């Protein structure tokens, strides 16, 4: 199976802080992979490096066999990227912004209005058509960001914390959408919500201190609780600490 993403011994430092410490993993075409770890473990830096938003110091990052280097952006039309927090042109209305994304991603002119209408309706944003994105709630901003990430029908979906600030109905909609894309698209998702991740992904990369400490594949006979337990145990055993709060009584 074709290898889509490959990190090989990647190091990224911010001053004296090492965010990625020899990070290595690969993702093949059609896989649905969840990147899981505690705050500060390097998940968002991994996404930012993959999307060429920050440079890395050493190692190699390959996508479709091509090395990601500064200025290399042509691969991004194959990616549907959702950052956390999302970035917008806040003065645009949802339709204006989605049209802008369609132009940038070279969506067929005859498809643009159809896709925008479909997404606006699916995300229940009809009543906000004339409202500027900067005035939206955090949840509705996330809906627009998700719509922008998929409107060009990309081959690879890279979602960094896609469920933050969403209501239950929208989470259910997005979860159903992602499930329907399993084995059709390549999915790379970060989230703290282990329950959602175990329902959406078939492979789990557990990250700690800028490294992959466990690579767990979901097997056919494994239950939801079994995979959740494996993930939780992998995370917790890396963060055992003593607590001394005698003063808090």
pLDDT in tens, 161-210: 888 878 888 888 888 888 888 889 999 999 888 888 998 999 999 999 99
Closest by CA position to 215, among listed 44, 23, 63, 47: 23
Q: What share of the chain is helix, strand, coil (3-state, %, to 5)?
A: 35, 25, 40
Establish how many alpha carbons lie within 13 A of residue 124's alpha carbon, considering only the half-sphere containing its beta carbon. Answer: 9
Q: Over the stretch 46-80, which tens digit does the pLDDT of each residue have?
A: 999 999 999 999 999 999 999 999 888 889 899 99
Tell me the whole-structure pTM to 2 decimals.
0.90
Report whether pLDDT(22) > 80.
Answer: yes
- Beta strand 3-14 with 32-36 is unpaired
Q: Residue 242: pLDDT band by 50, 70, 90 thresholds? A: low
| Second CATH level (architecture) for the domain 30-55+75-236 | 3-Layer(aba) Sandwich (3.40)
User: Is residue 237 pLDDT above 70, yes or no?
Assistant: no
- Tokens of residue 108, six digits: 């067929």
- What is the rounded distance in angstroms from the CA atom of residue 51 to the CA atom of residue 62? 11
Confidence of residue 225 (pLDDT cuts 50, 70, 90): confident
For residues 38 and 195, what is the distance between their CA atoms, to the nearest angstrom? 15
At 124, list the tokens.
């229940």
Tens digits of residue pLDDT in 75-122 = 989 999 998 888 888 899 999 999 999 999 999 999 999 999 999 998
CA angle 70, 3, 62 (to 5 degrees): 15
- Compute the C-alpha angle 200/202/8, nearest 5°: 115
What's the angle, vertex CA 101, arms to CA 99 and CA 104, rounded to 5? 110
Indicate if the alpha-carbon torsion angle 53, 92, 103, 157 is positive or negative.
positive
DSSP 75: G
Which tokens go with 235? 């995370």
Name the average pLDDT for the chain: 89
Report pLDDT digits (tens) over 115-152: 999 999 988 888 877 899 999 888 888 889 999 999 99
Q: Is the CB of residue 68 less than 8 Å from the CB of residue 50?
A: yes
CB proximity list for 150: less than 8 A, separation 6 or greater: 80, 119, 157, 177
Q: Using CA atoms, how far apart are residues 228 and 200, in angstroms rounded to an integer?
A: 12
Instruction: For residues 113 and 110, give the distance between their C-alpha atoms in angstroms, rounded to a whole number.
Output: 7
Longest dimension (CA), the chain: 67
pLDDT of residue 137: 85
């Amino acid at each position: 199976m074709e290898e889509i993403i490959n990190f090989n011994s990647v190091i990224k430092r911010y001053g004296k802080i090492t965010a990625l410490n020899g990070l290595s993993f690969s993702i093949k075409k059609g896989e649905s992979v969840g990147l899981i770890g505690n705050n500060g473990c390097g998940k968002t830096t991994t996404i930012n490096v993959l999307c060429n938003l920050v440079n890395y110091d050493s190692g190699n990052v390959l996508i479709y066999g091509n090395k990601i280097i500064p200025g290399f952006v042509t691969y991004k039309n194959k990616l549907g990227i959702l950052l956390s927090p999302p970035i917008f042109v806040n003065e645009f209305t949802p339709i204006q912004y989605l049209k802008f994304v369609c132009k940038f991603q070279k969506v067929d002119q005859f498809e643009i209005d159809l896709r925008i209408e479909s997404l606006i309706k699916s995300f229940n944003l009809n009543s906000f058509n004339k409202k500027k994105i900067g005035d939206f709630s955090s949840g509705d901003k996330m809906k627009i960001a998700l719509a922008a990430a998929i409107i060009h029908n990309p081959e690879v979906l890279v979602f960094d914390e896609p469920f933050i600030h969403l209501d239950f109905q929208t989470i259910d909609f997005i979860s159903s959408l992602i499930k329907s894309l399993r084995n059709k698209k390549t999915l790379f998702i970060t989230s703290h919500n282990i329950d959602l991740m175990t329902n959406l992904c078939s492979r789990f990369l557990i990250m700690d201190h800028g490294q992959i400490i466990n690579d767990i594949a979901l097997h056919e006979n494994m239950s939801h609780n079994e995979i959740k337990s494996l993930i939780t145990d992998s995370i917790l055993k890396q963060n055992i600490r003593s607590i001394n709060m005698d003063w808090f009584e």
